[in-house]
Chain A
Amino acid sequence: MEIYLQIFIAIPLIGFLASLLAPSAKEALLSRIAFITVGLNALMVTLFIVAWIIQGRATLNLRDFVVFRSANYEFLIDFCFDKVAAVYLMVGSILTFLVTIYSRYYLHREEGYKRFFNTVLFFYLGYTIVVLSGNLETLFIGWEILGISSFLLIAFYRDRYLPVKNAVKVFSIYRIADVGLILAMWLSHHLWGQNITFVEFNNEALVNAQLQTHAMVGILVSLMILISAAAKSAQLPFSSWLPRAMEGPTPSSAIFYGSLSVHIGVFVLLRTFHFWEHQLFIRILIGAVGLSTSLVATGIARVQSSVKSQIAYASIAQIGLIFIEVAAGFDNLALFHFAGNAFLRTYQLLVSPSVVSYLIREQFYNFIPRQHTIEDSLPKKIEYTIYMLCLKEWNLDAILHRYLWKSIKWAGNRLEFLQVRGVLIFLFTAGVTGVLAVVYKQSIPDFLNKSLPYAFGLIGLIMVFKAFTKRKNVQLTLLLIVANHFMIALAVSFNEHFSFDHILIYLSGIVVSGLLGYLAILRLKMLEPLVDLERFYGYSYEHPRIAFTFLLACLGLAGFPITPTFIGEDLIFSHIHDDQFVLAFIVALSFIVDGLALIRIYARVFMGPHVKSIHEMAYRSS
């Protein structure tokens, strides 16, 4: 029976590819592709679930195929199906189905009709992969798709400033979740000595045996999972991204940020429940995150005066409760709560424009001058303080901004002294030295051998910091990002002796994508006199093809599952020893910043208000 699971991935994949090929003027064709894809999948899912229930609801696991294998490493695509997957798949399919029909008319004549359906189908593909994944590696593929499609949906109105700014903001939070997951994968690889499937968590004896010997690693894995889940589900301290994601057309906000995307964190927790269920500390921590989020988010929701942000915070508060339910082990309740919350918020967002006529009418007939709220009974000073804090969202957005962007910028600005030529000379020297050192590793003193990975890792990190803060030269920025990957490869090379093909797998995608990106920018520079990172240029307006090419290049460079680099990244991590947490952290951090730097280039050069037209461009503030 598990063999059928592949169908639920295949249908959205084919649908997505078909939608890419459809001409953008053909609205009916595009919406029909989406309708058939999601409708068919929803139908199949329903039939499958019925059959599965009749057959006794056994947990299914499908070892689909091995993408890459070496002596002690295996990248396996694995699918798993149980009640968690069943509920998520069902809710996701129903909602996506309803929203595709809804959007068919709602988006009529909208510029970007095709882009919208492409992205929705892409999102749905990522969602089904995540939901059906049987191990962390498979999950990560879907996870990355969710991230990038979210970015594209938030920045759907790419010629306005705020959507692009907020899309980058949300993407940076997602990047934190990504790295949490990467680190969890790395740690668990070392914990088990192999890449493990979720089904194996069900084997309590096995899990306990491992955790008892590696208690600390076990806790760390769970912590990383929690960080990913909290970031993706907008729990504290990441909550402020959710309302800011409401920039796309209402149906996309409704389905993704109102329901599906934001519940993925809960899914990850449910999926890994058996792994951490005996770690009391983690369970308490998850509960505490949920509880504090639900309290803070409720307060913020109470003071929101715009419909969508109110719904967003109310939803976050409910997800906080779901976190508590999950931590308490009430998985059935959590699933039920998830489904109810997802449906409710989707509907509320979809009808949110009606709120004016409804509430104005209510006010007209039932107006009572000022209603007494609970907070009025507090002492004035406390009341004002809490109100102001809630209005400022407890500074959550500012804090994230300060610690995430500002600190990277700060570090990058410290490196201001590094100029183009300096960087190139430095890179060249470091590269040659590095390669020589690897070749003659035997003759290098041991202590040096041990510290060289860190040194090169750090150099790589500095490169991306620099890339992140560059304002002028786009090509150089790209070069720095590519250099970062080379440095990481070098760093890991010192660790142990492994065949060159691992490095090749890792770097092949980087080199090809880097070259592609470089050429795209070169082409753009031939057509446009002004290309830098000082401001938003919005060149996708005039050069959509170059923009798309460059986006592909960025995805490749960021380790998106379209090049072998995706597996390469995982491979590289498998060569970082479990006692080298600092190195793992450095590499992980450079992956975060690397993704941010790339999306920053893409956003600045290709998105935002088009630089050449003053007219017919929205105000910056709108």
Chain B
Amino acid sequence: MQSTTFHEHEVLHRLKHFLPAQAPLKDFIHHNTLHAFQNISFQEAIKQATEIFGYKTSLTIDEYRVLLASGKIKDEVLREIIIRRKGSKDVNFWMKKLLHEAFIKTKIPRVGMVRAYWKNTYRLDLDAMVHPTLFRILCSYLDQGIAMWNFPVWHKGFLSSIREMERSSFTSFFKTKYVKQLLLDGKCGIEFLLDKLVGDPALYEHYLFDQQFAHQGWSGMVSAIEDNPDTLLDHRKISIHDLITFELLLELDALTHQLGKSWKPLGKIIADRPVNLFAEVPTSELSEAIMMFQEAYEWTYYNAVLGGLQRQEQVTEKTGRSFQAMFCIDDRECSIRRYLEKFDPTCQTFGTPGFFGVEFFYKPEHGKFLTKLCPAPVTPKYLIKEIEGRSKQQKDLHFTKQTHSLFRGWLITQTLGFWSAIKLFINIFRPSVSPATATSFRHMDKFSKLTIENHNPNHRENDLQVGFTIEEMANRVEGLLASIGLVKDFASIIYVVGHGSSSVNNPHFAAYDCGACSGRPGSVNARVICHMANHKQVRNILALRGIEIPDITQFVGALHDTTRDEVVFFDEGSLSDENKLQHTRHEQLFSIALDHNAKERSRRFEIINSALSPEAVHDKVRLRSVSLFEPRPELNHATNALCIVGDRSLTRGLFLDRRAFLNSYDYRIDPQGKYLFSILKAAAPVCGGINLEYYFSRVDNQKLGAGTKLPHNVMGLFGVANGIDGDLRPGLPNQMIEVHDPVRLLIVVQHYPEVVLETIQRNVETYEWFINNWVNLVVMHPETKEIFVFREGELHPHEQFSNSPDIVTDLELLVETHQENLPVYLIA
């Protein structure tokens, strides 16, 4: 790809493509960390990413060998995979290699090779001279509200603002007049500066990659803000172009200052040209070995799951349901559904993406901005406003800036200072919710009203239609019900349960909320869809379309806080008397189920004794969510591995250990795969994105993850770094991924193979996930229960698993005695 000429625009475009794409903290959304490689196969991608950028993209061979020894990788599965890849002739040869060969250690990555010559030739640590200044100026420019005195010039864009400040100031960010003058005179085109520093156009691209990947956190943030300026509430104009220009100037400044004129551009120094960044990466035995181990690791787990799924009986439809409840497909909702069904076998639960098919912007009462409540790629045209809500803000003087000023600080230290000691004491011994806590219940006031119905299409605000018309409502309700297969046999109460989380001292709080709601709690969406489904006129339209919802049926919205295991219901006042009575009973059921759910979760928590009663454990789980000293308020999506699209009866009798995204789906009402198409279009990027972010943060927590969160320092409210001069750390911190098993997502679809095969190819972007193996796909024939594996564009019958999962009789005992990741079990 590198040529002797340099096309600036193209190179910057490519650079942006490879930089981390994480948005500011408040908009944290999971995505495939190696998104830039998604157009090639997983195997090829991890090989290239390692060679080019030095990422560790899988477990090490030694780690796999330990898994093999402990049975987490089964010997026969590994052999099977070698046969498929290498033929049966070479099995023993490869087995020997996998078990004993000392593979060559990894090489130095390609990125960084050009710029390394500064250090090697001039003993000059350019990074150490440039980075602190650069990071500090960048952070101050982008700052969202930490500093008391903001960047004095900001509206003109990054470089222009600096130019303006340099022009009228007695001091300078630069050490030499010469470079300052270059900036002031506008003689600072990237090519011009590269000519001075590098001098050889053939090396420019490599040099810029070296430079930007030396601080990929900051560069990635700049690139993300450039692409989506709205992600900062307090807008900033910045571009990767400005960043590179300024950094090149700083480099030139440092070189001139240190070496005067006694230096030559890199192009004149480098005798042996380093390998082109994007030159072909040869396949090595190591990369093949890794893929074999990885697949064996995955299929050892998948096989047990598939064995379990096949052994489930199709339950005949029951009537006389006590209630029905919709949850998010989120893996964290998988156990609460199991407990509801356990304690009330007549209830029925569903899973669907937690925005419940209604996409809109939300504006809370007194809010100055809009919040998007739907999957990240969607741009809604509607606005839902909260009215008559109470203020959601509590003040805490400890966070105010007065404490940092001199004289007020003098007063405050001697008064509030002593109160801090008491507060700290209380929080350590008796934690409680404080203004510092991020809680899902604050997202929307339970007693507020929402402007859901639109009576006049001209009622617009911020260029958005306020509320939905009747027709639009009906379309959404129909879409939701049909996609989960709930089109008849309605119970008298149908709960729609969104989810969110609570945590304190957690800059990554947004990553814990609902991914389908752009990292926000799903409470508003739950209320909105319920209002629509309860609407008389909407039901009339639905009846015309064949979905007849009886008059006694009422939809009730709710929010499940996955950290505290609490549920809040909305608008119960509008329930009929009879339903109210039932609802009271169901509330008790929810409360019992939540206690048990908390207990099941607690098996992972070191400080909670899981053998206590569910109520006692639940109390401790609640305390944990508001403890300042708890870096793991909950484990979020850790251990996620499965996405099952089909009827609940497939999974109802299985213990999946909260590892599965469960999307309810009825193939019988969707013979053309119309709903399946939209389910997969969302599930592949959302669940796949979550899964891969966990995968890569787990296998290389230092370069692709954020490292341990304990020393993190909040930068400008948009990112975290270590210390005060560090690079931003995108990705997930160690505390979120340490228990995660790095396996790719297995999507299981219950439908006819030919329908699925046709459906996934309808959209190129969705198909990329499957054909390039970023997620694994199997199809389960709904009648024969035969399993087909998607491989190289075709569905192959899969016959490997004869083994049925173990049966667990006492789930409570299992939970009390095990901390590690559990295999799949059949529930007795």
Q: Which A residues lie at the B interface, using CB under 8 A?
A: 94-95, 98, 101-110, 156-157, 160, 162-163, 165-166, 243-244, 246-251, 253, 294-295, 298, 301-311, 313-314, 317-318, 321, 336-337, 339-344, 346-348, 350-367, 369-371, 373, 375-376, 380-381, 383-385, 387-392, 612, 614-622
Contact = CB atoms under 8 A, between A and B. Distances in A.
A218 B369 CA distance: 64
Closest 10 CB pairs of A and B: A340-B417, A347-B420, A314-B404, A305-B143, A357-B438, A344-B417, A354-B436, A615-B56, A249-B710, A343-B421
Nearest to B701: A616
Interface string B389-408: 00111001011000111100
B109 A614 contact: yes
A103 B629 CA distance: 7
Contact of A373 (B150, B368, B507): B150
A304 B714 contact: no
Interface stretch (B168-176, B526-534, B581-589, B781-789): B168-176
Contacts of B153: 384
B144 to A, nearest CB: 7
Contacts of A348: 398, 403, 420
A109 B721 CA distance: 21
B278 interface: no
22 contacts: A98-B421, A162-B726, A163-B711, A166-B725, A302-B405, A303-B149, A310-B404, A340-B415, A343-B420, A343-B421, A344-B417, A347-B420, A356-B507, A356-B509, A359-B144, A359-B145, A366-B393, A614-B108, A615-B106, A621-B127, A621-B214, A622-B726
A622 B507 contact: no
Contacts of B406: 294-295, 298, 317-318, 321
Contact of B714 (A356, A363, A373): A356
Interface string B497-529: 000000011110100000000000000000000
Among B153, B366, B632, B710, max chain A CB count under 10 A is at B710
Nearest to B140: A305
Given A317-B406, A351-B399, 19 more contacts: A95-B421, A106-B629, A244-B725, A250-B710, A305-B716, A318-B409, A340-B418, A347-B398, A354-B399, A357-B509, A359-B144, A364-B367, A365-B366, A369-B234, A387-B165, A616-B701, A619-B215, A619-B703, A622-B726
A366 B128 CA distance: 39
Among B168, B367, B404, B702, max chain A CB count under 10 A is at B404
A361 B438 CA distance: 9
A109 B366 CA distance: 42
B804 interface: no
B84 interface: no
Nearest to B138: A305
Given A310-B404, A619-B214, A621-B131, A317 B409 contact: yes
A156 B707 CA distance: 14
B724 A360 contact: no
Contact of B630 (A105, A359, A371): A105
A612 B711 CA distance: 25
B184 to A, nearest CB: 14
Contacts of A309: 713, 724
Among A243, A351, A361, max chain B CB count under 10 A is at A351
A306 B713 contact: yes
A618 B702 contact: yes
A165 to B, nearest CB: 8
A362 B107 CA distance: 48
A306 B715 contact: yes
Contacts of A250: 710-712
Contacts of A356: 25-26, 507, 509, 714, 717
Interface of B: 25-26, 54-56, 60, 105-109, 127-128, 131, 133, 136-137, 139-140, 142-154, 165, 168-173, 214-217, 233-234, 364, 366-369, 391-393, 396, 398-399, 403-406, 409-410, 412-418, 420-421, 423-425, 428, 435-438, 442, 504-507, 509, 606-607, 627-632, 700-703, 707-717, 721-727, 729, 738
B737 to A, nearest CB: 12
Nearest to A317: B406
A388 B412 contact: no
Contacts of B215: 619, 621
Contacts of A157: 708, 711, 722
Nearest to B133: A392
A439 B169 CA distance: 65
A380 B166 CA distance: 11
A622 B727 contact: yes
A359 B399 contact: yes
Contacts, number: 330
B139 A306 contact: yes
A434 to B, nearest CB: 36
Contacts of B146: 304-307, 310, 355, 359
Nearest to A116: B710
Contact of A337 (B56, B172, B414): B414
Contacts of B415: 340
Contacts of A365: 364, 366-368, 391-393
B233 A381 contact: no
B366 A616 contact: no
A362 B366 CA distance: 11
Contact of B368 (A302, A339, A364, A620): A364
Given A303-B140, A340-B418, A357-B506, A622 B707 contact: yes
A304 B715 CA distance: 9
A620 B214 CA distance: 8
A344 B140 contact: no
B442 to A, nearest CB: 8
B710 A367 contact: no
Given A358-B435, A388-B165, A350 B424 contact: yes
Given A244-B725, A357-B436, A375 B152 contact: yes
Contacts of B715: 305-306
A346 B506 CA distance: 17
A236 to B, nearest CB: 15
Given A163-B723, A347-B398, A622-B729, A363 B148 contact: no
B295 to A, nearest CB: 21
B169 A620 contact: no
Nearest to A320: B406
